[in-house]
Structure 1
Amino acid sequence: MVNYNGSLVDDSGVALQQNRGFLYGDSVFETIKVLDSKVLFLEDHYFRLMASMRIVRMEIPMGFTMEYFEEQILNLIRQLDGAQSIRVRFSVFRKSGGFYLPTTNDVEFIVTAEPLESALYSFDGAAYEVELFKDFYVTKQLLSTIKSNNRLVQITGSVFAHENGYDNCLLMNDEKNVVEGLQGNLFMLMGNKLVTPPVLDGCLNGVMRKQILAIAKKMEGLEVVEESISPFDLQKADELFLTNVIKGIQPITKYRKKEYKTEFASELLKKLNAQVRLA
């Protein structure tokens, strides 16, 4: 069951040979977690999607309000028999027609959903090793900060990680600064200083990144900054971890010969879950 332009159907019937999201990557999307029929971080997801559509010059329908956005998600997940935790993808793409130049800026959307195993955020403390992915780079530009169908750097990086036995890879921008992981934003703890790359470096303007920054800034004795991270900084860090809205926080335990602690990430995770429970 999917939600296609507001109608619940077994199959959208979208013809791939005509779909601009498939043909040209002319699509933006949000990956969303729903817990107990509540869309987590609803406002942040909605406004990022609207910003993404504006950046790529899609026409935003007049009735596409935050309430409408939420309704389309909830209408679909009601079809998932009693699932407590659900992963949702809300994809928006320009209507068919044209080549690189579209014949219209009007849009369509598809919402898909699947149950998740765990409800609240957690991690099990298992080893999690990463490596730098140096075959391709993230471009330091506005388009890199949104979620679009143009994810070939992340895809080839994922293949590289799998082929070489790594759990994830860290991506660099064209100035050779480390900007993010394959599926999430990067945070680095050095003493009492928590660092994450600025959006201007080309990292995803992550919804969970925003939540972690807000939580961390309330922690006494902790300096929180957004500044560039070089590959050399990684081996001087006390902790490294990745964030996204599905996993929450994923600690990195090893990069090359350096092994990292996870105590701070564990403390942050407790605060994140407390916030989610109150939402």
Structure 2
Amino acid sequence: MPTLPREQPDPPPLESHEARRMAESFGVDAQRYDQARPDYPDALVTRIVARSPGPDVLDVGCGTGIAARQFQAVGCAVLGVEPDARMADFARARGLQVEVAAFEAWQPAGRTFDAVIAAQSWHWVDPAVGTVKAARVLRPGGQLAIFGHVYEPPPEVAEPFAAAFRRAAPDSLLNGQPARRPLDLYQAAYAKVADKIRETEQFKDPEQWRFEWEQSYTRDQWLDLLPTTGGLTQLRPDQLAEILDAVGNAIDSLGGHFTMNYTTLATTAARVGAS
């Protein structure tokens, strides 16, 4: 999901794998990223684990380990692969084993897994390489699970953000986008992920999952999350300050808080060969 001037956390799947500067910019403040970014629905984690033939999980683009820790908490043994050494160091400090590499270049050295997950990260992976490589490292019946959040703040927050982004970063390639985009666009992107999985002919027919939930944010909580998003991680301090001031004022006008409606989308498929 793109971090465009509409407060989205990441670019849509399959659109961003060549944007390496943005892909590897999130570690600029790994601690803030880890504290501010939301977890994933417990029901999603439970379903993936229940369908996997065992507990060994490979987390592609694990970041600081937000999703990995949720899988560890239910008994999984997780190995993370992460291209940003700063994010990897933070995840290691929280108890996750991480190898620093882009997934396309990562060497499995004969290792295989019961599940390969990608939480808010698959759009940074070359789609021509990633799905085939995932199939190669999955055991028969192993689960490939690609998932991420879709969320749009209310218009009263999204519109001031978009206007401030245009003013503060007029030369950004992310400019010119609408303040809000429909969920259908993201569902279509996950459907394209499913198409790539089918093309390998190494998986059973993919499934599309959807989880609806909500979370309340205070002004300070949302302003803590915003700098971790891809459109803002590369801005100068003065540019970032201008945007945060505008968004903070917008949230103040709503009484200092708002409720975010989240949708977590997932595309999952089982490796063929299960007994």
TM-score tier by shorter-chain length is: under 0.3
Q: TM-score, normalised by structure 1?
A: 0.24
Question: Which is strand-richer, 1 or 2?
Answer: 1
Question: Which is helix-richer, 1 or 2?
Answer: 2
